[in-house]
C-alpha cells in the first residue's frame, strides 16, 4: 500500500527551472531603484508571493535605508517585475522542464496517486501549458483563492482539497523554506528539493527532482 494518495508539487524550482528567472527579474527592478540584492537574497524570496517579495526588497532598501513607496507605486513596480518575468519565460518549452520532472509526474500517476499543484505563482497555469505538463496535473490550487500565502498552510491544504485527499495522505514537494513550512503546518510530509542545511524542516531532502522516486515512499 502506498503511504500517500496524492503528491502536491510546487512549480518554480521544483518542476521548472524558473526560480532564478524570478530572482533575475527582481534584481533588475531592484537595480532600477538603486537597491543591490546579494545572491543570498534569492533564498528569502523563494516561494514568497509577488507583493511580499517587493516589500522585502523595499525594506532592505539601498545605501539610504529602506525605500518607501505608496500602495499605487508598489502595484506599478510589481507589475513591472511581472513584465520582466513574463518576457523571460515567453519562450519556455517542454525542453525547459527540469530533468526528471515529467518522469516523476508520470510515475506518480502510474502508481495511482493524484497530482496537484501548489504554486504561489499566478503565472503557473500558462507555464504548465508551455512546458506541456498540464495533462499530468489533476488540480491547480489558485493562490488568489486562499486567505494566506506561503508560509501559511492554506495553499497546500487547498491543493489537497481539490483532489479530495486528507493532509496526512499527502506528500508535498518544495524548494523553498516558506513552502516547506506551508507543507509541515498543513500536517503533511515534506520533500525538500535543494540543500538540507537550508530546508531544515523537510522530512526528506534530495538535491533535485531527478532524484525523486515515488517508489521510495511505498
Query: Which residues contribute to the site for ligand BG6 (CB under 6 A)?
Result: 11-12, 19, 22, 45-50, 53, 82, 119-123, 176
DSSP 148-200: S-TTSTHHHHHHHHHTT--GGGEEEEESSHHHHHHHHHTT-EEEEES-TTTST
Identify which of residues 68 and 86 has a Cβ nearer to Mg ion in the complex: 86
Minimum CB–partner distance for residue 139 and ligand BG6 (Å): 17
Q: How far apart are CA 183 and CA 191, in angstroms?
A: 9
Minimum CB–partner distance for residue 141 and ligand BG6 (Å): 12
Identify which of residues 138 and 175 has a Cβ nearer to ligand BG6 in the complex: 175
Q: How far apart are CA 115 and CA 137, in angstroms?
A: 5
Q: Determine whether 10 is an active site residue.
A: yes
Positive/negative CA dihedral, 172, 174, 177, 178: negative
Minimum CB–partner distance for residue 72 and Mg ion (Å): 29
Question: For helices 71-89 and 50-60, what crossing angle results, to 10°?
Answer: 110
Closest-CB residue for ligand BG6?
121
Nearest CA to 201 out of 151, 155, 143 is that of 151
| Partner that binds at residue 50, options ligand BG6, Mg ion, none, CB closer than 5 to 8 Å by kind | ligand BG6
Q: Determine whether 12 is an active site residue.
A: yes
Minimum CB–partner distance for residue 174 and Mg ion (Å): 6
* Non-local CB neighbours of 167 within 8 Å, separated by 6+ positions: 156, 157, 160, 186, 187, 188
Identify which of residues 66 and 196 has a Cβ nearer to Mg ion in the complex: 196
The active-site residue, picked from 12, 49, 154, 175, is 12
Q: Note the residues at the interface with Mg ion (CB under 5 A).
A: 10, 12-13, 175-176
Identify which of residues 51 and 111 has a Cβ nearer to ligand BG6 in the complex: 51
Question: Which residues are catalytic, by number?
Answer: 10, 12
Amino acid at each position: 500500500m502506498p503511504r500517500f494518495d496524492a503528491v502536491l508539487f510546487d512549480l518554480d524550482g521544483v518542476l521548472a527551472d524558473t526560480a532564478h528567472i524570478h530572482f533575475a527579474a527582481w534584481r533588475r527592478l531592484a537595480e532600477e531603484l538603486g537597491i543591490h540584492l546579494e545572491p543570498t537574497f534569492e533564498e528569502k524570496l523563494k516561494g514568497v508571493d509577488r507583493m511580499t517579495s517587493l516589500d522585502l526588497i523595499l525594506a532592505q532598501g539601498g545605501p539610504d535605508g529602506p525605500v518607501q513607496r505608496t500602495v499605487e507605486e508598489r502595484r506599478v513596480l510589481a507589475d513591472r517585475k511581472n513584465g520582466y518575468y513574463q518576457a523571460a519565460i515567453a519562450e519556455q518549452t517542454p525542453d525547459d522542464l527540469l530533468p526528471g520532472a515529467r518522469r516523476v509526474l508520470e510515475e506518480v500517476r502510474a502508481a495511482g496517486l493524484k497530482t496537484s499543484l501548489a504554486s504561489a505563482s499566478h503565472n503557473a497555469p500558462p507555464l504548465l501549458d508551455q512546458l506541456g505538463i498540464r495533462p499530468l496535473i489533476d488540480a491547480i490550487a489558485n493562490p488568489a483563492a486562499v486567505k494566506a500565502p506561503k508560509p501559511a498552510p492554506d495553499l497546500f491544504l487547498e491543493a489537497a482539497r481539490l483532489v479530495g485527499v486528507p493532509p496526512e495522505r499527502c506528500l508535498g514537494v518544495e524548494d523553498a523554506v516558506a513552502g516547506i513550512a506551508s507543507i509541515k503546518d498543513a500536517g503533511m510530509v515534506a520533500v525538500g528539493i535543494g540543500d538540507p542545511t537550508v530546508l531544515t524542516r523537510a522530512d526528506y531532502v534530495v538535491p533535485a527532482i531527478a532524484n525523486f522516486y515515488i517508489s521510495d515512499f511505498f
